[in-house]
Amino acid sequence: MTDTVSHQSPNVESISPSLNLGAIGAARSTWLGPAWAALCGLIASAAFSFDAPNVLRAVLVLVLSDWAWPAVWLTCVRTNWVAPIARWRDVHAPPRAVHLPFLQPGSPGDRLVAWGARFGAWWRCEFAPKVGTSLSSALAALVIAVMLSAVLGWRALALTLALLALTGIGTLRAARTGLDSDLLRASVYGVLPWWLGHAAFAPLSVESAGFGVIFGLAYRAVMQASPGSCAPSAAGLVAPQIIAAIALFAGDQPSAAFAVVVTLVAQAALHAFLVEHAFARRAQVWLMAAMLICAAVIA
């Protein structure tokens, strides 16, 4: 598993100065990951029609998958929550301006009041200045995600709960190791959006769920590319798509399997001649084409 340094990443694109509701990626050219995955899931559902309710539903899916979900993940995993917590022992309760006459010194009530005063001092001096904005951003993004999911239905709510579980695991891992898991990030930016695009219009099928996982793993390799780093590994990008081509051929779809192989050849050629972000910028187009082919076949 390849990991990314977690805190204060330069790959954050903010939507607003107060709410860090942005997308994470190697650069702007890879931002289409969640939106495109959701669109492919929508196509795979074979239940979308161009009428007003379905178009509005599709817009909500795109906002949830490409904006609200990444904001929850980004804000939680890329914030150093440990720093203010580590300062708890250094903060002391301020002198009390008013003593409650019915509380005996040392009693449970007296200790509770003292703890509350200490917590308030810690919050004002340590927590709020360091991570207060991140907390408000995460809560705002979470409220938006839950509201959008409630409109889309119980399947979207279940996927939002899955996102929260992944975010919790990623946050704990980042707090312990200082690393952002690319595998968990690929699930948030590739797998779950595909599933959401399908589940918002029809029950998620096994085939669609499987292709969502396959292309989530492939897109993970594209997201790893960043300026100054080496190009994504050929195995990480190509191997999942080879599995997709084999699955199409086994499913009696040789034409679609051949089309996916063509996109693989193009990506392999790009990998041989390009490095770093230039490769990711061009390989993404062929990966998106392979995703669209598989989605159309499932439909």
**H, E, C per residue of 51-84:** CHHHHHHHHHHHHHHHHHHHHHHHHHHCCCCHHH
Distance in angstroms (rounded) separating the CA atoms of residues 226 and 175: 23
For the chain, what is the domain count? Answer: 1
Please, which residues bridge with residue 180 across strands? Answer: 4
Residues 197 and 47 sit within 8 Å (Cβ to Cβ):
no
Q: What is the pLDDT of residues 178-223, one digit of tens each?
A: 777 888 998 999 999 999 999 999 999 999 999 999 998 888 877 7
- Say what the pLDDT of residue 198 is: 96
Tokens at residue 162, please?
């899955």
Residue 273 domain boundaries: 3-298
Please give the average per-residue pLDDT across 275-295, as a whole number: 81
What is the chain's mean pLDDT, rounded? 81
Give per-residue burial for 174-206: e unless 16+ CB within 10 Å, then b.
Answer: bbeeebbbbebbbbbbbbbbbbbbbbbbbebee
Whether this prediction's pTM lies above 0.85 is answered by no
Q: What is the pLDDT of residues 240-271, one digit of tens each?
A: 999 999 999 998 999 999 999 999 888 888 77
Under the banding of pLDDT at 50, 70 and 90, the label for residue 25 is: very low
Tokens 């096994």 belong to which residue? 206
Neighbours of 291 (CB within 10 A): 30
Under the banding of pLDDT at 50, 70 and 90, the label for residue 93 is: low
Distance in angstroms (rounded) separating the CA atoms of residues 241 and 263: 9
Please give the average per-residue pLDDT across 40-57, as a whole number: 94
Nearest C-alpha neighbor of 75 from the set 196, 200, 163: 163
